[in-house]
Amino acid sequence: MTGMLSIRNRQRVRAVETRLLRRVTLHLLRNELRCADFELGLHLVAAEAMALVNSTFLQHEGSTDVITFDHGDGKAAERLHGEIFICLDDAVVQSGQFRTTWQQELARYVIHGILHLRGYGDLEPRARRIMKREEERLLREMGRRFDLNALESRPKR
């Protein structure tokens, strides 16, 4: 396994500029987290598909913002292998609640999922604070390096 990233956009909630999302994600992995050995799948989905994933694999009702599946063997901390499902409906709703943009929420969910794959947890209060601090730091850095609002794809003329 080396640096492999696949992005599947299976939703029509928002038009996403997947080429920029790929650049942001690769920069995050390679430059910010120093992760050269990865196989990552990003799945952008709508609420209905996310609810199905949530129910099927986690036995939870309804949609959620991000679900991460770690396919790593747990032996090599420097290796990252997993899938991240991101719900654009939830990104839109939460952007209104938190006074951000859905594009910033999308970047946050990518970061959040990758941090889970790197071993960060958010079930206990102390671990959640540590993870949230790192998530905020990385989101600020991605916002400095990239125009995250450009994650919204504009119609071609």
3-class state of residue 14 by DSSP: coil
Q: Which CATH class is domain 3-149?
A: alpha beta
> Along the 157 residues of the chain, how does pLDDT read in single tens digits?
578 999 999 999 999 999 999 999 999 999 999 998 999 999 999 999 999 999 999 999 999 999 999 998 766 566 899 999 999 999 999 999 999 999 999 999 999 999 999 999 999 999 999 999 999 999 999 999 999 999 998 766 5
Exposed, middle or buried by CB within 10 Å (0-12, 13-18, 19+), for 59?
A: exposed
Backbone angles phi, psi at 82, to 5 degrees: -175, -175
Full DSSP string of 66-97: EEEEE-S-SS-TTEEEEEEEEEHHHHHHHHHH
The DSSP H or E segment spanning 5 is strand 3-9
